[in-house]
Amino acid sequence: MALPEGATAGLRDRESPGAVPSPTAAAPREVVDEALERLLVEVGKETQPQPLRAYGDLRGMVAIVTGGATGIGRAIALELARHGVHIAFNYLDDGSDGVREEAERTAEELRQLEVRVLSRPCDVRCSNEVAGFVQEVTEVLGGVQILVNNAGIARDRALWRMGDEEWREVLDTNLTGAFHMIRAVAPILRAQQYGKIVNVSSIHGLRSEFGISNYAASKAGLLGLTRSAAVELGPSNVNVNAVAPGYIRTTRLTAAVPAEVLDRARERTLLGRLGDPQDVAHVVVFLCSEFARHLTGIVIPVDGGHLL
């Protein structure tokens, strides 16, 4: 970076005949000036803020966001797209009303941000479906650099009443689903020596509450998976991190959780509010950016201080 002409003049003018002699005092004036000029250029380079360049680096990349049709996944997909990232997202078409329509609405909103979009049903619990989805993403969108494991479900019940199916479904979706995805993209990320993986865990992976043993175990397991994947993929220049959202206002959360539980959760946060999907999305995009290039194997709570 070139400094403006005369920028060093003030510094030079500050030298006075009475100053303590420095080791360079005997050096010719031009040599001192040249060294000073070099030093200032280096300092200038070091201290230049570079936010736009770092986020701009995401432009043209391809991200897979699991469960991207709704809620937090949708917000993450949209925020990545705002940074010029092409998006592939999947969802679970379990035959319930409006799922496809919701996915199509999200896909349309993404396309309006002028990125390419691939969206279709793919059950993360099924390793063959996941392998097929990742293959299609690379063929249609030309590769993959970012994976956000967001798909997740809850089936709350006291553990002595919990059925095998409730336990298995939650573990299979929240933990095994993320493993299937990471295993499918790992060869691609390793071959290109570049990649970002972000796992959407939960504060309940760090501290539990009544009736969520399956969910808490899956989200704590996801943190273990995050650290293991960071260890194994770090040498291939792949960052693997997690976010742990607190209570986030998504339609499904507000529909499923009783109002008094939400009120209690709000009171527990230091900031006195529930989070929005956007609050999580911004942190995920940060973890995908070069600002976070020296972070790996960590978990960032996005909880307004709920855990303190």
Active site residues: 215
Backbone angles phi, psi at 298, to 5 degrees: -110, 165
Spatial separation of the C-alpha atoms in residues 100 and 275, rounded to whole Å? 26
Closest CB to ligand NDP among residues 124, 230: 124
The yes or no reply on residue 248 touching ligand NDP (CB under 6 A) is yes
Shortest spacing between CB 303 and ligand NDP, in angstroms: 8
| ∠ Cα 288 152 214 (to 5°) | 125
Binding mask 143-172 for ligand NDP (x = CB under 6 A): -------xxxx-------------------
Q: Which of residues 64-123 bind ligand NDP (CB under 6 A)?
A: 66-67, 69-73, 90-92, 99, 123
Helices (H), the chain: 9-13, 29-47, 51-56, 71-82, 99-111, 127-141, 164-171, 177-192, 213-233, 251-256, 259-268, 277-288
Task: Find where tokens 């808490």 sit.
Answer: 216
The yes or no reply on residue 252 touching ligand NDP (CB under 6 A) is yes
| ∠ Cα 118 122 128 (to 5°) | 115
Shortest spacing between CB 98 and ligand NDP, in angstroms: 9
Closest CB to ligand NDP among residues 116, 155: 155
The yes or no reply on residue 179 touching ligand NDP (CB under 6 A) is no
β-pair partners for 245 = 302
- Options 61, 62, 65, 124; binder of ligand NDP; rule CB under 6 A: 124
* Site residues for ligand NDP per CB under 6 A: 66-67, 69-73, 90-92, 99, 123-125, 150-153, 173, 177, 200, 202, 245, 247-248, 250, 252-253
